Structure 1
């Protein structure tokens, strides 16, 4: 059933209490009173190529936690929904306390926008990043297929005439009139703009405007502890669409990656790691049939790979680059394996959030990068503290 936008009304909800944001100075280690806190790496902007970089702490490895498919805000009108968000917070708190990572990556479907009946979905986005932000850990995010999906009104919210009951804000507020209080949703651009504007520790990027229909396309540099100008690895983030956009990595994005990688890593001498949300079709080619056997590594293989709608050349380009070590995706909650594909590895994260489908145990994939000499390995940390599925990427 569909109602015209002018008749749709915002349902009033108890807004999520936003965690108090700490103001940190860029370029210094951040001090937070927490039992398992360790100083964050140095954060600066490399002006020559406009690639932001994070410097590895002297004598340490660079550890990254991947949080995938949190689905905050799902079924917010029920008792079940907010409880799932609380459970997701607990998972992230446990992983962050156990692993004390230097960096966190939110690997898509941070929120379930098609179930969020408020215009400002950033309230739920802020809640999702709060465990990382409150510890003074820098992070980056990439969009999934639910982060700005069109809103779908649950049938039980409709009155007999077929129109949801009107609950507009008071006329004294910033909103007035039925048109202003009807649900309009929160798009990718607004979500990423709010994250960057209000969080000095966010390393997320908008990406060039000509990469429509995608938004979160950017690259970060992991720098040597001895020289911030000396890269140890490059992390590339690509928006695989979904929601209000086609589920593809477009040819424009392929061209962007080719130009950017040639600009900052022309000889492929620096290792590169790639992150997006929806698996490419190559994942289906290497997927284990039943149980996970070597050379694949993982613990669950409970569903078929749900892939992007089309291929426009990104996999061909990545396979040709000897510097590309691995691709990490989310999307499939019942998969957590890594499998080799030609000269690189294709990996799933672990379903972190209690929102979304599936009852498999929650956890997070951990990545660890060491420079001089370069080593790169990964494992999965579970909510109950268990560690498994370690893989070393050659």
Structure 2
């Protein structure tokens, strides 16, 4: 027979429960001004599946036939992945749109089109920015020939916008894109991050609860790796923000953590297989067709991540011709898979899938292709 708890121990247990509740409420209240259900492991299976959609590049050359056609093809890829895998959550891993090729003021209309396959299936999602999402419009030189500027029309969308001239060549900021996504979608768990981290915007953390809802099972950090209207970089301030947040939320590193951003850090170049070579163990993947296009500098984020045993993996996009995962010190560095028909490269499209299991904790990943096949299975928690 177990010895009854003393009054002091009961008080400590109550205090810890209250602290956990307050932490949970603070994270959820930060996620949106609207009420959202907490993310949690699926009851019964104790699993949680995430699909990563990287480099969709919606909105390219909307004044041509091929531009809108490739967006339709991207819809098909996402629909195939979503219907095959039936994920519990989706991460839009940057370069959702190609803003420098979108000749309208309100690029949120193309952003809305890109997230529509996920929203249609009532699957929650979160997003981070890539280097193309808020780029300034690049005027095609041929528009200044005798043919002139073509007629530009706004795409149909389920969202509304203000302003008497929605189709002007102004561009749309990161803040506007994020605010519109959050305001118009109850399933969006994305956040406008702390003001002190701007011009980076998509800096936030989401908590995944256990299947019984009593404790955190996973922490998902999202960081804005820049590009577009400012340098391609994760700043020192962002690195310090992550360190402070992780120490506050997970001081003993007992809760597993995964990280999402768009542009690979310089650490990816250190572990990358030689371009066009066979991907050999311990790396796992199927395409290795280019060199890593990394951030411009490293300001401490990787040292902080590798010092935390709770950090299991970092997931990025950006390089369309890479889909490998390689170990780096105490964690894994993974590319997603080029999902969209926009952007460069003709390699078959697909999406990286992540599966989290709680008892015992495991983190597995594989690639689901547009033709329905899967490959490159890897365990990231060992």
Structure 1: how far apart are the matches of 2:317 and 2:152? Answer: 36
Q: Does 1:175 align with 2:164?
A: yes
Structure 2 partner of 1:3: none
> Quick check: 2:103–2:167 contact (8 Å CA) kept in 1?
no
Task: Tell me the secondary structure at the aligned position of residue 328 of structure 1.
Answer: strand
What pairs up with 1:167-246 in 2 under 5 angstroms? 174-175=163-164, 182-227=168-213, 229-246=214-231
- The equivalent of 1:97 in structure 2 is 83
Distance 1:135 1:243, change over 3 A: same
Structure with more of its chain in helix, by fraction: 2
- Taking the aligned partners of 2:153 and 2:190, their CA distance within structure 1 comes to 33
Question: What whole-Å deviation, never above 9, does each CA across 1:354-393 have from its counterpart, x for those lacking one?
Answer: 0000000000000000112111100000000110000001
Cα shift readout 1:219-275 (whole Å, capped 9, x = no counterpart): 011100112x40111000000000001100001101110111011101000000000
Structure 1's 181 and 93: CA in aligned 2 closer, same or farther, altered over 3 A? closer
Structure 2 distance, partners of 1:273, 1:202, is 19
Q: Does 2:358 correspond to 1:380?
A: no
RMSD across aligned positions (CA): 2.0
Checking the alignment, whether the CA contact within 8 Å between 1:276 and 1:329 is kept in structure 2 is: yes
Aligned to 1:56: 41
Q: In 2 relative to 1, CA 249–174 (structure 1 residues): closer, same or farther, beyond 3 Å? A: closer
* Residue pairs, 1:5-44, within 5 angstroms: none
2:20 aligned partner: none
Give the distance between the partners of 2:152 and 2:108, measured in 1 at CA.
20
Aligned to 2:24: 46
Kept in 2: contact 1:158–1:165 (CA 8 A): no
Partner SS for 1:46: helix
1:261 aligns with 2:261: no
Matched, 1:324 2:311: yes
Deviation for aligned residue 1:184: 1.3
Aligned-pair CA distance for 1:46:
2.9
Residue segments in structure 2 that go unaligned for 5+ positions in a row: 1-22, 32-37, 155-161
Q: What is aligned with 2:263?
A: 278
1:153 maps to 139
The 2-side partners of 1:167 and 1:387 are apart by: 39
Once superposed, which parts of structure 1, at least 4 consecutive aligned residues long, lie more than 2 Å away?
A: 48-53, 162-169, 173-176
Please give the per-residue CA displacement for 1:114-150, whole angstroms capped at 9, x wherever unaligned: 0000000011000000000000000000000000001
Report the equivalent of 2:34. none
Instruction: Please point out which of 91, 97, 100 is paired with 1:114.
Output: 100
Residues 164 and 232 from structure 1, CA distance in 2 versus in 1: closer, same or farther, beyond 3 angstroms?
same
- CA–CA distance in 1 between the matches of 2:152 and 2:329? 56
Contact kept, 8 Å, 1:175 with 1:181, in 2: the verdict is no
Contact 1:205–1:217 under 8 Å retained in 2? yes
Give distance in 1, aligned partners of 2:63 and 2:152.
Answer: 14
Cα displacement (A) at 1:181? 6.6
Would you say the 8 A contact 2:62–2:152 is kept in 1?
Answer: no
Partner of 2:11: none
Secondary structure of the residue aligned to 1:354 is coil
Unmatched 5+ stretches in structure 1: 1-44
Conserved in 2, the CA contact under 8 Å of 1:213 and 1:246?
Answer: no
User: Does the CA contact (< 8 Å) of 2:104 and 2:168 recur in 1?
Assistant: no
State the Cα deviation string for residues 140-181 of structure 1 (Å, max 9, x = none): 000000000011011122245x98589899xxx9537xxx97
Q: Paired residue for 2:125, among 139, 142, 156?
A: 139
1:77 CA displacement: 1.2
What is the distance in 2 between the residues matched to 1:294 and 1:166? 52
- For residue 126 of structure 1, the aligned residue among 105, 108, 112 is 112
TM-score under structure 1 normalisation? Answer: 0.83
CA separation of 1:196 and 1:48: change in aligned 2, threshold 3 A: closer
